[in-house]
Structure 1
Amino acid sequence: QAAFPLARGIRHKPVTAAVRADAHRGLPGSMDDERWRRGYALLARHGLSFDLQAPWWNLDQAADLACDFSGTQMVINHTGLPVDRSPEGLAGWRAALERVALSPNVALKISGLGQRGQRWTASANVPVIRDAVSIFGPERCMFASNFPVDSLVASYETILVGFLDAIADRPQAERRQLLHDNAQRIYRL
């Protein structure tokens, strides 16, 4: 595994659009960039996974990347960044997740659900968590805290309890997958 045997993957933020209206394909440094993709192709050779941080309106690029490089495990960070919580925004987010979830080599890290200027609440985030798990399935999702960044919007306990509430109706085996087993398997720990 490259020069560091304990390394499991690379986390990167390719060039993406900060707002949905500015989302364009083919930008230098984006997931469409041929030079960037040549670098991405090296991950499988070295047994490394890829943690992607990109807003949902760029997940069409991630879906193409996952399909083109099916031998590389991709993990989408921060639940695909559902920052626009309007009904239209959430519909777009769900559609983007559904498309990228078609590739079995993609997993979803449920984290980073804090909203700028707002406290983290279960009422705002439990539906998002449930949608994410329904789209990807409990075998391809994992909980992550995004601490200390999310400490700006809530305590660790508040976020964990909210996540536990969101999955409380799931069987024990699925809850274990979401909280432990999937991370252990995906990151080969």
Structure 2
Amino acid sequence: MTLPIIDAHHHLWDLGANRHPWLQEEPPIPFRYGDTRPLRRNYLPADFRRDSANQHVVASVYMEAEHDPADPLRETRWVHEVATREGMPNAMAGAAFLDRADAAEVIRAQAAMPLVRSLRHKPRGVARPEEYDPGHRIPGSLRCPAWRAGYRHLAESGLHFELQAPWWHLPDAVELARDVPGTLIILNHLGLPADRGRAGLAGWREAMARLSEAPNVRVKLSGCCVPGRRWTPELQAPVVLEAVRLFGAERCMVASNFPVDGLLASYDEVMGGMRAIIAGLPEAAQRRILHGTAAETYRIDA
């Protein structure tokens, strides 16, 4: 418990100051963990500090929280105001909509903000692996020409890309990493291995193995809750340790995905569980996963 942590992916929100449609509109959106209504409350630095108090968190990275898409820069400005007042977060991932006409303008504006290190735009895709077609050109997907045109502006901005996509779309990410090698891709939430059946895990392992061959990809060990099941080291160790085996500790980092993962676990269960899962690795590897990879990726001096 003495090794320091950089939490590489968490959220904050003030529902009175900002608009987050997924948290404020009715009916609630379908969500992989179930009912999102318990999240409909402010989550501010005091709440994060209370949740993380036992885990020696020395720095953190804010992840865009699906703020009003009409004004993604408003969220970024708000996070900077919070950081100035509260001393956290230490870096952030902002939002940009890569298939929109203003993608290049928004990317440049985000890159000019001091805390922004990366951007996220969740690509469209199919809901189940059996629906995946490797030749697809779904509008707004990783293979969409308009989306890819926007993505190419990231390289000139120097920003990373936060990829959140289910594992059956990772072949698209392999092509993206190959075609635009100058942009670092940070895979969120282990490629969403929600199906822990034999076939589901086999498909996830194969997709992750192919992605691991791309040198410009890193992985967040986060967001791997299984609907209806409590977060435990026994449940999560197989996917966490397999990701570390494939990518190496130097390309893996822990993250809480709080408060979202708080629907199924406490902060101590998630981060204490991650510590337990990697406890058998050499201390240098543990330090890299808990702190070093995130510090390097997000340029945090902590």
Calculate the TM-score normalised by the size of structure 1.
0.96
Between the two proteins, what is the percent identity of the paired residues?
49
- Of 237, 259, 262, the match for 1:126: 237
Q: Deviations over 1:58-95 (max 9, x none)?
A: 00000100011111000000011001100111011011
The Cα shift of 1:169 comes to 1.1
More displaced 10-residue stretch of structure 1: 67-76 or 16-25? 16-25
Once residues 128 and 5 of structure 1 are traced to their aligned partners in structure 2, the CA distance between those partners, rounded to angstroms, is 34
Q: How large is the RMSD of aligned CA atoms in angstroms?
A: 1.1
- Partners of 2:178 and 2:248 lie apart in 1 by 19
Count of residue pairs the alignment pairs up: 189
Residue matched to 1:73: 184
Q: Which residue of 2 aligns with 1:94?
A: 205
Contact preservation (8 Å) 1:127, 1:166: no
Taking the aligned partners of 1:17 and 1:184, their CA distance within structure 2 comes to 34
- Give the Cα separation in 1 of the matches to 2:237 and 2:141: 31
The answer to whether 1:19 aligns with 2:128 is yes
CA deviation string 1:14-64 (max 9, x = no partner): 011121122232111111111111110000100000000000000000010
Q: 1:115 is matched with which residue?
A: 226
**1:180 maps to 2:276:** no
Larger RCO (CA under 8 A, 6+ residues apart): 2
Q: What residue in structure 2 maps to residue 3 of structure 1?
A: 112
Mapping 1:29-178, distance limit 5 Å: 29-178=140-289
Matched-pair contact (CA < 8 Å) for 1:141–1:182: yes
Partners of 1:89 and 1:35 lie apart in 2 by 31
CA distance in 2, matches of 1:127, 1:83: 12
* Cα distance, 1:97 vs structure 2: 0.5
Q: Distance in 1 between matches of 2:248 and 2:153?
A: 28
Counterpart residue type for residue 87 of structure 1: R
Unpaired stretches in structure 2, ≥5 consecutive residues? 1-107
Q: Which letter does structure 2 place at the counterpart of 1:156? A: Y
Consecutive aligned runs of 4 or more in structure 1 exceeding 6 Å deviation: none
CA distance in 1, matches of 2:137, 2:299: 33
SS of match in other structure, 1:59: helix
Structure 1 unpaired stretches of 5+: none
Higher helix share: 1
